[in-house]
Every structure is written in structure tokens, then in C-alpha cells.
Structure 1
Amino acid sequence: MSLPDFKDTTERLQLALNDDMVPHAFLKAGRDLLAHLTRPTQIAVLGFAGVGKTSVLNMILRDAVMPDLGAVPIIELVHGEHVRVTYEPLTAPAERRDGLASRETMPLRTFRVIQELPLPQLERCNLIEVNIPEDAGQQTDLLDWVTQKANVAIWCAETFDDHDSKIWSTVPDRLKDHSFLALTKADRLQMKGLLADQVSRFESQFADEFLCLYPVATKQAMAACASGTVTRARLWQESGGKALADGVAREIATGKLADRDHADVLLSRIGLAGTPRARRVAPEEVAPLETAEEAPEKSAAQPVMPPAIAQMGREEAVEMALSLLQGCANEMCAGGTDQKAAAPDRILAQCAQTAQALATLLMDTQPDDPEIDALREDALESEQVIMLLVLERNETAASDAISVLLQLKKEIAVLGAQ
């Protein structure tokens, strides 16, 4: 199975934008969504020099296509009709040449390499290797650049020590929510008897900083691949390569599905809703970049949804709805003294999850209560509004999302008092 076909949604959104059918208030969101739907997912592979970033990059492609170029700050792999490389030195004009990048042909003081390759894998995602420098000023500039560009991040490290943690703490939550930690030399840690301790340390100290931890023996993983395919399935799985590659593939699919859903909401609000789908394709149903021999285990944490209770009555529904909203408020208050925890991205994510859970809860409530029906419609509309606000990613949008939930809470409280 390949990625779901987003063509219908993309075409309708393109048509709406081209024909000036999108209201000004939604214009920026519509353009951003169209860009997200049509461009490859940007995957950043970050870490200090010598931790195996290039090996991880090649592992995702299932082919040893890129050589080690040393401490070049930025190396981008993009799709192209031919094998070409562009070198961007600090003090000279950019040079574009046929062939693969190499240290021998690379100009002095090159800070960026863009490698074009005719690989089908790169039609879905671009890969960006980022070498984190030791200089604090250069770190800030480089991280600012990559965090604005990337949709998914993989931080590579041997042990993820305090040095790694300090740098990673500056990454915005927007990217952390779509990131993985790869322990790139897990075989060495295992031989030294340190792998279990590293995993335990991650779970106790850094689990909230990443979607998942993946210990990977990169050399063994690459030995299991050739020419873009897995040739030794057992070694691929035992090396940890399969788990990381499947995790990345799921995150790509999840991001595309979310963009499709946001675009459908926007189009619905301006009267261009498409044909209803029989059901939403779940991210775990999407095949990874290679043909998987077995279904990948789901590793990313999922939103906590209320239990489905058939024909739930008004009183129980009101009690559970108020509890959901109060839980969201408590989480925000708990993070109120932490500037990073209270960032707009985090607030919007909490509001979106709460709105989704509330809409699901009310869908499971008795259908013959007119006031519950009206509340259900309000909840669904609020969920759609918050989905659009998530795209704005600023303090005003976060404030508006809170206001939407507060209004819902007032309606539910009034209903409960009757």
C-alpha cells in the first residue's frame, strides 16, 4: 500500500486559491496547506560530528549513496532527474556539477551541499543532514534555520549526554513533537553492557522530549540493504533499522494526513467540501518506504480519547465533558510557570486534543436529545475552528483556541444546571 491519494483535496484547494474563492482570513492558511500537501516532507538528521548521521541518512534511503563529507554544516538530499551536486562555499559563488558530492571536488569552506538524486524515496521526503558546531553563535543560527525548514527531526547521538541535551532543549516544541532520538552505535553500547542503562535514563529524563527512542546499529542496518530495498529482513529488524525507518514513515504519513484533514476543514468552511470518505486512512495502514514484510508496531503516543459508551445519557455526558475541559485547564495551569511549556504550539496542541476528545465523546451520546444535538454541532464546529487555529502557531491563535473551549464549557455548564 502507498500513501493515500491527496490529489482531490489538493486540486480543490489549488482551484479555490487560483479563483480567489478563499476569504482573506483563511488565505495564508490555505497557501501554507497547499505548500505542505505538494512538497516532500523535510526530515532533518541532526547531531554533532562523528555520531553517524550520514549512516542514518543512507539507512533511511536503504542505499549507501552518500559518502561522509566531514563537518559540512548542511547537506541536503533532494529528488532530481539526474545525479547533480551544488556546492555553496562561504566566500565564493555556488558551483553545480554532475555526479556525487565528494571531499575531493568540494570547494574550501563549503557550508552547504545540495545533492540531487533520481531516487523514488526522495519524491516523498527530502533529507537534511545538519552538523552541529561547537560555537554557540553558529549553533543558534543553524538551529534557527533547520527548525524553520524541517517537519520531522532525528537527533543522532551515541549516548545523548548533557551536551546533547543542552542543545536539544533550544529546539521549539513544534519540531520536538515530531522528533526521534537515534542512539546510532547501539551495538557498542550493548557490548559494553550500557544500552539498558541508556534506555532507562531516556525513559526517566527525556521521554517527553521525543516521540520515541530508537537504538540502532547503523553498520548492521546498512548491511541489510542494497539499492533502495531490504535484502536481509532479519538483520534489518535486529539492527533497529526497521523500527526507525518505520517510525519515520509513519510520521510522514501522519503529517500528510493531518494536512489533508486541515485542508478538508478549510474547504468545507468555504463551501467546497469534497465527497465524504468512507473512513479516514490511519497512519499505521500506510506502508513504509520499502515493502514491509510485517506490520510495524506502533510506537508514537496517541491522543487519549474518552471511552465509547453507547447511548450515554445527558448527565453522564455533561459530567465527562466538563471533566475533559477541566483537565485541559489543569494541564495549562501546571505549565504556567514554565515559559516553554506554555508556548503557543503547546497550548494549541492541548486545545486541539481536547476539542477532538470532546467531539468524540458527544458523538457517543444519546441521539434523541435536541439540546445535546445542538451541543454536538457546536463541539464539531469548535474542533474545526481550532484545527485551523493550529496552523497559525502564534499567541493570538492560542488565545482564540482557549476562548473557543471556554465558550463550550459555559454552554455545557448551563446545560448541566438545567
Structure 2
Amino acid sequence: MDDAACGQVVARLDHILSVGQLAPALTHQARALRDRLRKGVRVVLLGPKGVGKSHLRDVLLGEEVPGGPPGIAALSVCHDAAHPDPGEFDIHAVTLRNPLLDRTHVIDLAASEETGLPAERISWALSRADIALWCTQCFSQEEAALWAQASDHLKDHSFLVLTKADALAGAGTLHARVAALQAVAAEEFHSFFPTSTFHAHKALRAGQEVSEVQLAASGVLALRQSVSGLVASGQRADLDSALLFLQRHEPRDLVLPASAAARGKSKTTAQMQPYEKALNLLRSRTCDLATATAEADTVLETCGTLAEDLVELAAEQTQSDASFDAWRNDLYEASDKVMLMGLENDLRSAADAATVILQLKRDLEARVAL
């Protein structure tokens, strides 16, 4: 998600809230959308004491995080944003200038030796998490009972992480443990990742940079990429919801203050024209998808024709700037994907092709709206 685009949407929501022309229910909705975009995605690390969660957290972030008392650590680029509503628990905020924290707030739930798995704190964290990383060695019955509190939505956006996989391999139990946890993850989590952070964390403690090869070998690179993918799709959905709200409820004659308008990149009429043409083409033709039969070849043919027409429209444009060139390259890549899906000619490929077309439409709506 483009940071400038997000800032512009937040500015527009702020402005219509300050004008005060919305009905109470819409005011509440606009405030919730704005706060959601500002807050970012909360990623919560959970798991028993001594399982290696802190090492995983450090390798995930690519730096050692200053230690604190057992409890809840909220990591963010901003002290205020990092400090969620603590309820009855002590929370210490850790401010880090870390790229991963630009879009996320990481909440690390630590347990003391005496309390083991703190059930009340875990319930508190699960109720506030957007993504959870449950770190484990065996996913015991106690862990399973605590995880059962998580909503189905959270389970669909969370990861089961096996830590210290190297130690299990040395003991000859890794294969059986992975098989058992994969079965659990298939029912209770989005994905499963075995990790081994010993060498990567040792390099961090020595002040060395962890190479991508080390990160891949540890299993953390794949985990980080999957988490980042979920974060990006979640923020994209939040931005789409906000844009849809603005499209429906923002007064057409409402003018942003200069300071707010400056937060987004201004676009000339000439720059916007290709996007508007492409969007009008999609809007006029996506109805073909809505009325298409369930036959895969019909949907794939419709998507293929749409993609070809969009590519032809983009190729006709003579303008050249970084933003437009990036969009045109994305369009060419999407068209190639739709063409490959047409060769497979099955229902899954048809659904994927329709998804590609709708993603192009949402992206264009965002560009035109901004």
C-alpha cells in the first residue's frame, strides 16, 4: 500500500469528521476506518516460557530488542501507537526504528517461570490481535485450550511456529513433530513454519547482520514474507473500505485544506486520464463477469478479453512517469497471468482470473479517488 495514498485517505476522513456533516452512525464508522488505518496491524507473539519466542522475535525484526520485565512488550516505531489499552496488565512500550514496524505493532507476551502460560493475558492479547504467531515445541493440551479462545477470523490469519527445530533434529524427533504439528495447523492456523534461530540470533548478539541465506535457512524468511503478505492484504482491504466509504459519503464539493491535500501526490488531468479510461472500461465490462455462467471457459474468455483490451489501452499512452510505468508493468504482468490461467481452463483458474481483474479494478479506483 502506498504510504502517501494512506495518508491522503486519513486526511480526507479527518476532514469530513471535522466538518461534522455526517449522521452519528456514519461518524462512528468514519472514525473507526480512520483509526484502523492509523493503527496498523497488531502482530502478537504467544507461547510457553522458554520456547525461544524472544529469539524468534529478534530474528524476525533483524535486531535485538531491549529486554524488560515479564509481561507484555509493545514494539512500534511510535511510543503512543505502541501502547495499546493495557486493561489491568503492565505494558512496557519499546520504540524501534524498524522497517517491519512501519506497518505493524508487535506485541510480545512473556511469561514468568512462576505463572507459566498467563491465561488472562493471553485472552487479552487474542482479543486485540490481527495476526498471532503461536510459538511452540509440542502444542500441548494446555496450549490448545488457550488457543481455542481465538476467533475463527484470527485463526485464519495466524501461524503455528515450531521453534528450535535444530535441537529436535539432533534428537531425531523433528520429522514426527513436524508431521503432528502440520495436522494441528491445518485445522487451527493459516500456516505452519518450523524455525531454527540459534545461529541467526547468535550473529545478532555479536553485532553482525544476518544474511538472507542465514535467514532463509532459519525458516524465518518464509515466515516474515507470509506475515508481510497478510499485513499488506489486510491494509489493502482497510484502505479499500475507507475509499468506498468516501466515495459514498464524502461531499463532492468538499475541499481539503491545503495541508491535508499536500499529503498526497497531486496528479494532473493528463496523468489521471489513462487511469480513468481504464477504470471506465472495467466498470462497463465487469458486468459481463457478473452475468457469466459458471462455465470456466466463459469466465476465462471474458477475463482474457478484458486484460487484452486494458493492455492495448495502456500501450497507446505516450506519457511516462514512475507511477504510470509501474502500473503499466503490473498490468502487463496481470495480463500474462490471466493468459496462463486460460490455458489451464478449470474452475479454480477461472476464479483466480476473475480475482486478478477485480484487483486491477480496485487499484484503479484507488488511483482515481486520490
Q: Does 1:27 align with 2:27?
A: yes
Amino acid at match of 2:170: M
Where does residue 199 of structure 1 map in the other structure?
A: 178
Where does residue 71 of structure 2 map in the other structure?
A: 73
The secondary structure found in structure 2 opposite 1:63 is coil
The secondary structure found in structure 1 opposite 2:293 is helix
Aligned equivalents of 1:56 and 1:313: distance in 2?
A: 45
CA-to-aligned-CA distance 1:119-145 (integer Å, 9 cap, x gap): 454343222111357869951x31332
The secondary structure found in structure 1 opposite 2:109 is strand
Where does residue 233 of structure 1 map in the other structure?
A: 212
CA-to-aligned-CA distance 1:259-310 (integer Å, 9 cap, x gap): 001111111221468998959xxxxxxxxxxxxxxxxxxxxxxxxxxxxx99
Aligned equivalents of 2:11 and 2:292: distance in 1?
A: 44
Aligned equivalents of 2:207 and 2:103: distance in 1?
A: 14
Amino acid at match of 1:78: S
Q: Cα distance 1:228–1:123, how it changes in 2: closer, same or farther (>3 A)?
A: farther
Amino acid at match of 1:151: D
Where does residue 156 of structure 1 map in the other structure?
A: 135
Q: Cα distance 1:227–1:78, how it changes in 2: closer, same or farther (>3 A)?
A: farther
Name the structure where helix makes up a greater proportion of residues.
2
Q: Cα distance 1:228–1:13, how it changes in 2: closer, same or farther (>3 A)?
A: farther
Amino acid at match of 1:127: V
Q: Cα distance 1:25–1:188, how it changes in 2: closer, same or farther (>3 A)?
A: same
Residues 157 and 182, structure 1, Cα contact 8 Å, conserved in 2: yes
* Higher relative contact order structure (alpha carbons within 8 Å, sequence separation ≥ 6): 2
Q: Cα distance 1:314–1:115, how it changes in 2: closer, same or farther (>3 A)?
A: closer
CA RMSD of aligned residues (A): 4.3
Residues 72 and 110, structure 2, Cα contact 8 Å, conserved in 1: yes
Where does residue 18 of structure 1 map in the other structure?
A: 18
CA-to-aligned-CA distance 1:216-246 (integer Å, 9 cap, x gap): 1122232465899954221110110111111
| 1:211 aligns with one of 190, 212, 216 | 190
Where does residue 121 of structure 2 map in the other structure?
A: 142
The secondary structure found in structure 1 opposite 2:187 is helix
Q: Cα distance 1:239–1:25, how it changes in 2: closer, same or farther (>3 A)?
A: same
Where does residue 63 of structure 2 map in the other structure?
A: 63
Cα drift, residue 180 of structure 1: 0.9
Residues 62 and 210, structure 2, Cα contact 8 Å, conserved in 1: no
CA-to-aligned-CA distance 1:310-353 (integer Å, 9 cap, x gap): 97796835999xxxxxxxxxxxxxxxxxxxxxxxxxxxxxxxxx
Q: Cα distance 1:13–1:55, how it changes in 2: closer, same or farther (>3 A)?
A: same
Matched residue pairs, number?
A: 272
Residues 62 and 228, structure 1, Cα contact 8 Å, conserved in 2: no
Following superposition of structure 1 onto structure 2, how do residues 7-406 of structure 1 map, counting pairs within 5 Å?
Answer: 7-67=7-67, 69=68, 72-80=70-78, 111-131=90-110, 139=119, 141-223=120-202, 231-271=210-250, 278=275, 316-317=293-294
Aligned equivalents of 1:58 and 1:261: distance in 2?
A: 32
Where does residue 387 of structure 1 map in the other structure?
A: none
Q: Structure 1 vs Structure 2: percent identity of aligned residues?
A: 27
Aligned equivalents of 2:232 and 2:107: distance in 1?
A: 18
Aligned equivalents of 1:255 and 1:228: distance in 2?
A: 34
Amino acid at match of 1:73: G
Amino acid at match of 1:174: H
Aligned equivalents of 2:96 and 2:292: distance in 1?
A: 60
Aligned equivalents of 2:236 and 2:207: distance in 1?
A: 25
Where does residue 258 of structure 2 map in the other structure?
A: none
The secondary structure found in structure 2 opposite 1:155 is strand
Aligned equivalents of 1:241 and 1:50: distance in 2?
A: 18
Aligned equivalents of 1:31 and 1:313: distance in 2?
A: 33
Consecutive unaligned residues in structure 1, runs of 5 or more: 91-109, 280-308, 321-356, 365-379, 381-418
Aligned equivalents of 1:45 and 1:256: distance in 2?
A: 20
Cα drift, residue 49 of structure 1: 0.8
Q: Cα distance 1:37–1:213, how it changes in 2: closer, same or farther (>3 A)?
A: same
The secondary structure found in structure 2 opposite 1:206 is helix
CA-to-aligned-CA distance 1:87-116 (integer Å, 9 cap, x gap): x9x9xxxxxxxxxxxxxxxxxxx9433223
Aligned equivalents of 1:227 and 1:254: distance in 2?
A: 35
Q: Cα distance 1:271–1:79, how it changes in 2: closer, same or farther (>3 A)?
A: closer
Cα drift, residue 16 of structure 1: 1.8
The secondary structure found in structure 2 opposite 1:22 is coil
Aligned equivalents of 2:290 and 2:146: distance in 1?
A: 50
Residues 156 and 184, structure 1, Cα contact 8 Å, conserved in 2: yes
Amino acid at match of 2:71: P
Aligned equivalents of 1:245 and 1:267: distance in 2?
A: 33
Cα drift, residue 174 of structure 1: 3.0
The secondary structure found in structure 1 opposite 2:232 is helix
The secondary structure found in structure 2 opposite 1:316 is coil
Cα drift, residue 178 of structure 1: 1.8
Amino acid at match of 2:199: Q
Amino acid at match of 1:46: L
Aligned equivalents of 1:267 and 1:114: distance in 2?
A: 34
Normalised by the length of structure 2, the TM-score is 0.61
Q: Cα distance 1:20–1:208, how it changes in 2: closer, same or farther (>3 A)?
A: farther
Aligned equivalents of 1:21 and 1:311: distance in 2?
A: 37
Consecutive unaligned residues in structure 2, runs of 5 or more: 253-263, 277-285, 298-350, 363-370
